[in-house]
Chain A
Amino acid sequence: MEPGGSRRLSTAEQLAARQAPRSPRGQKDFLPDGSARQAERLRRCCEDQWRLLCEERPERPGNLVKAEWKPEQGIVELKSPAGKFWHTMGFSERGKQCLLPEEALYLLECGSVQLFYRDVPLSIQEAYETLLCQEAMSLSHYQVFSHLKQLGYIVLRFDPSTVPSPYERQLNLESHCKSSGKHHRKRRRSSSPRLHEKKHKVYEDLPEAEGTSSKDGDDYGNSIPMDEKPLSVQPKESDAGSAEGESMPVPLDTGQKDSVSFSSRQAGDQKESSTGTHAPRWDFSTITFPNVASDQPCTHLPSPDNRLLPENVLGREVDAAAWCTRINLKQEKLSRKERKQRERESRYKSSVNADQEVRRCSNWHEYKALVQQRRQQRVWKRPSHLWDQAVTPLLRPEEVTSPAELLQQISVLQPSHILDGASRLQEDPEAMKIDFNVYQADAVSKFKKTNPGKPHVRMCVRSCSRQSKEGGNAVLPSFDEQIPSLRALKQVTYLSGDVPLVFALVDHGEITFYSLKDFKLPVDVNH
């Protein structure tokens, strides 16, 4: 059917229409001065604007896709095959190609489709007045949609069921297939064995875990692993998996022989008969430290116990005497910087070997006994003027070991994230709704409608809307309304998952975008 008896533009007219119209030139004035020059500029401005308003929309009738508005379903059904726009817009339903009302209206304005209703072509005005009647797609929504489309973004309606839950995100499930079978050719090999491993570790008995830890390789490069083993199960979790948003215990640093680990280990020793599951395989009273330092060199190292060595590794005894004569031949010369640093450190750092009592220990067992003994002996005198009052200090000196820890302990306000407690706020019918998923323009070539992936941002349209009188609430115009409450923000941010949220404020044709950014105050810690 011929598009409504339109007059076909001649080639010359089409060429002219394609050229950009002139925009008002020159600087703007500040005040009217009644001059002829101003009057002339004004007249020319008006003519240009008038030409703009009247500009015809040239169409290529052969390219027009025909579509029909179906009010009972609220969608537009294509009657002729879709064009290039099908790559990013539209959907299939019962074998037919369909468009959402906003998509159809946009394409109509662009001149790519022709809309019919009851076999009569709709004008743009009629389309505006007919298609934008849904609550989900008002004029404001359409204006935001159109604005983003003009910028080149791909805009789809938001569907809450497609947002993965935090648990699913933690399991990295979004990279796997959700419902469509097409996706699992992209399975990431690294994640599923990890998943398996994690479960393996959590539910195993600890002695077995000790056995497997060596299989995992030297994550920490530990030279003396036995202390870390019972505790290392948990830190390895955070290392191996993608535990997003969950607070995991900090992995122990092997380099730092924390007193904490020793005392707990010792407790483990004493309790081993009672618990039964923590039986250590090491007998500390028989394990000696060979001291190969220069003052009392132990040069003879006996052959290690074969039971403790892996299968194809041979141990042998060593006499290091020959080597001892070849090392430490020169006096160590420190640079000035190094000397200064040593001086500074000597004020608060001291070598554990400088302690005579420590040197008297010949094995780990004795050393631990010494530490325990010292701990029990230490009587910390609490200053009465501080501790015997109604108001006492927040911390004891031994509770913190660094300025950062100190700040952490005494801070009244803990840093919070917008999503804290957000999961409990759901199920609120008054909550703000997310309207669109927005995908980046440069991803158009790789974009797949059936699997769009994670959007660039999600859009929440706010506008003044006056519902029908029966519907109730007349919301105040957008610039007058308050910034959404924290509760509302938490709800809607949670709804958005891990995709940033942007608010589009529509004020009678003017659109303003804003978003809230997470910000963390820097902590001033001089370490």
Chain B
Amino acid sequence: MAAGPEGVPGVCGSEEGSETPGTPPGSPAELPRVRRQRGRFLLWSPRAARALRERQRVWGALVGTPQRRGRAGAAGPRLPLQLRPEEARALRESGGATVEAVDEAEAEPEETPAEPSPPSERRFRVFRELWGRGLHLTPGGKFGGDFLVYPGPPSQFHAGAVALCPCSSAPQPLGALLAAARLGTSVRKALLLCRAPPGGALACTALTWRADLT
């Protein structure tokens, strides 16, 4: 094959060799391998990417450069698939994928940072809860939130909500909440304020802008 995204070209080394389209994903014994390097998580196998998306509801982002510039829009983005830290960690903890370090010199990932509850920790717990309930989650940066929550595959459904994971111990300025709620309404998505404390259950509050009362 031509220089493929993974492995040495021409050599179908690993079991994840290139396959023709239409073949269903292989046996469940092969776990997708996520490569971690400097805090970033990349996945190179087309089959693994498909498995993650279709069977595990983890979507990530395709960040590869399209081959021909003119066809960039038509061809769409390509491998590698980049996962967010919370996606990678959720997969690792649930056994859905293995995370391997690219450079052996890199120490084991310290998943528990010094601060008690930094934004990344909060986000991860909420992600794990929502994902665990069968929802599909993608980054919510475009809408000023932490996640976009989909009832089904993002390619097929509209996002139902924008999820925010604010710090529950610090007071939130009302203006920020109003701005977020207004944003959610203008894009016809509910705004969810989520909290998943370490020992407790997921708590969500939906915020709606009452346009009918203004």
Partners in one complex: yes
Are A57 and B2 interface neighbours, CB within 8 A?
A: yes
Are A51 and B38 interface neighbours, CB within 8 A?
A: no
Are A24 and B156 interface neighbours, CB within 8 A?
A: yes
Are B8 and A47 interface neighbours, CB within 8 A?
A: no
Q: Does A235 contact B (CB under 8 A)?
A: no
Interface residues of A, Cβ cutoff 8 Å to B? 3-7, 9, 18, 20-21, 23-24, 28-32, 38, 41-42, 45-47, 49-59, 106, 108-111, 114, 120-121, 123-125, 128-129, 138-139, 143, 146, 149-150, 152, 464-469, 474, 476-477, 479-480, 507-510, 512
Q: Which of A28, A123, A509 has most chain B Cβ within 10 Å?
A: A509
Cα-based distance from A466 to B38 in the complex (angstroms): 6
* 17 more A-B residue pairs beyond the given contacts A110-B67, A139-B38, A150-B66, with a C-beta to C-beta distance below 8 A: A20-B71, A23-B74, A50-B46, A53-B50, A56-B4, A110-B65, A123-B3, A150-B65, A150-B72, A464-B39, A469-B107, A474-B113, A476-B118, A476-B119, A477-B85, A507-B141, A512-B142
| A contact residues around B119 at 8 Å (CB) | 476-477, 480
Size of the B side of the interface (Cβ < 8 Å), in residues, is: 70
Q: Does B1 contact A (CB under 8 A)?
A: yes
Measured between C-beta atoms, what is the minimum distance from B101 to chain A in Å? 11
| B contact residues around A121 at 8 Å (CB) | 3, 8-9
Are A21 and B74 interface neighbours, CB within 8 A?
A: yes
Measured between C-beta atoms, what is the minimum distance from A10 to chain B in Å? 13
| A contact residues around B41 at 8 Å (CB) | 508
Measured between C-beta atoms, what is the minimum distance from B203 to chain A in Å? 21
Are B156 and A110 interface neighbours, CB within 8 A?
A: no
| B contact residues around A6 at 8 Å (CB) | 1-3, 9-10
Cα-based distance from A56 to B20 in the complex (angstroms): 10
Q: Does B187 contact A (CB under 8 A)?
A: no
Given A28-B158, A139-B38, A510-B139; A123-B84 close (CB under 8 Å): no
Are B156 and A45 interface neighbours, CB within 8 A?
A: yes
Given A150-B66, A477-B120; A49-B50 close (CB under 8 Å): yes
| A contact residues around B6 at 8 Å (CB) | 123-125
| B contact residues around A468 at 8 Å (CB) | 38, 105-106
Contact of A123 among B7, B76, B83, B160 (CB under 8 A): B7
Cα-based distance from A52 to B105 in the complex (angstroms): 35
Instruction: Supply 14 A–B pairs (Cβ within 8 Å), ascending by A.
Output: A21-B74, A21-B76, A23-B74, A28-B155, A30-B158, A41-B156, A45-B155, A57-B3, A109-B65, A125-B6, A477-B119, A477-B120, A509-B63, A510-B139
